[in-house]
Structure 1
Amino acid sequence: MKPTRRYALTVFLLLYVLLVHAQKDTAHYHGKIIDMHVHIAVMPGEENTMSGERNHTLANIRTYMAAANVEKAAIITIAQKGNMADTRQRNDSIIALSKKYPSLIPVCSVHPMDGADAFAEMERVHKQGVSIIKLHPNSQGFDVGAPEVASLAKKAGELHLVLLFDSYSPVDNNEIGKLIMLAAMNQDTRFIFAHMGLVNFPQLLTIEALKKYPWYKNNIWCDISAIAPVLGHSPFHDQLVWTIRTIGVDQFLFGSDYPVFNPADAIKSVHGMGFTRAEEQLLFYGNASRLLQQ
């Protein structure tokens, strides 16, 4: 082949590759992101307790946010039963950080078995602008079906608070059903089911049945933290995407679950799931923005 032809062919192939790459790139949403699931270390010694690869100090979180174009990040703490002094200290730390750095959304916590003390703490943090309370049945050691949880859910509705529940239990196969019933019985409370139930995600299709009733207020959101990088490229991929679209993409939120997962990998996993650019915009930004403004 003559040099001029070889050169022309090389240029053509290079332009073709660049064109294909550009088309793929524009097929995805690359705007600002709201990360609805970020763990932060607020007590000395906590920074290396959730991942062997990265710690979750404030400095590392802010560095990740800048690198990944994350406009806001919901920073989470988790309360333990019977230690209200520790609970208040954790919540105050989260609130103080959010006031110093407006890009941080405070996600405070109480323990449902602390009863009236938990209610008082919910009222206290609500007065300081907090709109989300984190509950973790696994690490906090409670049953979602307990009457104390129902009472707390009712109180959250009265205060117009969102309840963020970890929604995967390795020991209670009925937990998704219990969470859905809790939401159905507390229509004035908004719920986020973190991790979308993980391997139990098909059970979320029960939400479709709720939509048949006129009293249902569509008060359940799910975040796709953990489940996107774990199952997004698995043999369950098609079923997972179908489930999200069937329930409604507008009820799902992006979460990185930092530091357990690398945020860049979490974002990439969502890009790889086959959603349209418009759907990705909702997942990464639009849905969370709408929820936080309600």
Structure 2
Amino acid sequence: MRIDAHLQIGVGRYYRVDPGHMIEQMDRCGIDQALVSPVDREMAVYNREGNDRVLALSKQFPGRFLAYATANPWYEGAAVAELERALGEGAAAVKLHPPLQGFMILESLVYPLIEVAARHRAPIYVHTGTPVYALPLQLAELALTYPEVSFIMGKNGKTDFTMDALPALEKASNLYGDTAHDFPERGMARLSKKIGPERLIFSSNHPVSRIELEVDKVRELAVNDDDKAAVMGGNMQRLLAARFH
């Protein structure tokens, strides 16, 4: 199965993505399933509305879309309750966006949400690349604090801290790299060689990038077909299997 581990559907501040059009693009690119994130304002403020919207998409298009659940840690107990609710209603994974949600990765403020994800065996996608809130080595420290949780390093620190991606991935074995916005002959190939293709996760980060472009880049990755299949979906499928076991 080919899985896009991160895209957005809906009306954000700078984009508008229709679910039917998204499925057409997925079909053209051979993508079977995609994890859908709430949009910007839903990440920051309207957590319940965003979670309900992407959960509804997962039910409207069963097997094609899976929902990310989010909660802003500044809502404290209400955030914990909301994340519990959304995961309990079938969200597949958790997404955190420190710059949008106004916290730094290593702040203890976020720990209760990580503990919710741990109880549900849900992988956590964390945006990285925005100083000072969200840097790869900060995420590595969080991953070491919670070794039972699988973390996806969203965008591998791009654009400002890509150089920290490899040291962070080498530091924490429960941290997974993201292929979005990377180059096959440089970033992806280097990461694959150092940490193994079993720890690379394909995502398009649509609509910031295009699915066609991101799929083509993985197609050019200099690994065997089994390893490409792992990057394109097998690795994410394994993380999701732990969630729904």
TM-score range, shorter chain: 0.7 to 0.9
The answer for the alignment partner of 1:49 in structure 2 is: 14
Alignment of 1:125-136 (within 5 A): 125-136=86-97
CA contact 1:76–1:134 (8 Å) conserved in 2: yes
State which of 225, 233, 236 in structure 2 corresponds to 1:285.
Answer: 233
Is the partner of 1:172 in helix, strand or coil? coil
Q: 1:87 to 1:47 in 2, by over 3 A?
A: closer
Deviation at 1:157, TM superposition (A): 1.2
Deviation at 1:272, TM superposition (A): 2.3
Deviation at 1:243, TM superposition (A): 2.4
CA distance in 2, matches of 1:180, 1:166: 13
State which of 131, 136, 153 in structure 2 corresponds to 1:176.
Answer: 136
CA distance in 2, matches of 1:87, 1:202: 32
Q: Which is worse superposed, 146-155 or 198-207?
A: 198-207
CA distance in 1, matches of 2:136, 2:88: 31
State which of 104, 112, 115 in structure 1 corresponds to 2:76.
Answer: 115
Q: 1:167 to 1:48 in 2, by over 3 A?
A: closer
The answer for the alignment partner of 2:6 in structure 1 is: 37
Q: 1:278 to 1:123 in 2, by over 3 A?
A: same
Q: 1:131 to 1:75 in 2, by over 3 A?
A: same
Structure 1 alignment gaps of length 5 or more: 1-31, 211-217
Two-structure CA RMSD over aligned residues (Å): 2.1
Q: Which amino acid aligns with 2:212?
A: A
Is structure 2 residue 223 aligned with structure 1 residue 223? no
The answer for the alignment partner of 2:61 in structure 1 is: 101
The answer for the alignment partner of 1:264 in structure 2 is: 212
Is the partner of 1:257 in helix, strand or coil? coil
Q: Which amino acid aligns with 1:33?
A: R
Question: Which protein shows a greater Rg?
Answer: 1
Alignment of 1:239-278 (within 5 A): 240-278=188-226
The answer for the alignment partner of 1:197 in structure 2 is: 157
Is structure 2 residue 30 aligned with structure 1 residue 69? yes
Q: 1:181 to 1:209 in 2, by over 3 A?
A: closer
Deviation at 1:117, TM superposition (A): 0.6
Is the partner of 2:180 in helix, strand or coil? coil
Q: 1:206 to 1:38 in 2, by over 3 A?
A: closer
CA distance in 1, matches of 2:213, 2:229: 17
State which of 105, 108, 118 in structure 2 corresponds to 1:157.
Answer: 118
Deviation at 1:208, TM superposition (A): 2.7
CA contact 2:150–2:239 (8 Å) conserved in 1: no
Q: 1:122 to 1:208 in 2, by over 3 A?
A: same
CA distance in 2, matches of 1:239, 1:268: 15
Q: 1:160 to 1:174 in 2, by over 3 A?
A: closer
Question: Structure 1 runs of 4+ off > 3 angstroms?
Answer: 78-81, 237-240
Normalization by structure 2: what TM-score? 0.88
Q: 1:137 to 1:173 in 2, by over 3 A?
A: closer
CA distance in 2, matches of 1:105, 1:111: 20
Q: 1:115 to 1:101 in 2, by over 3 A?
A: same
Q: Which amino acid aligns with 2:226?
A: A
Structure 2 alignment gaps of length 5 or more: none
Deviation at 1:193, TM superposition (A): 1.0
CA distance in 1, matches of 2:133, 2:91: 31
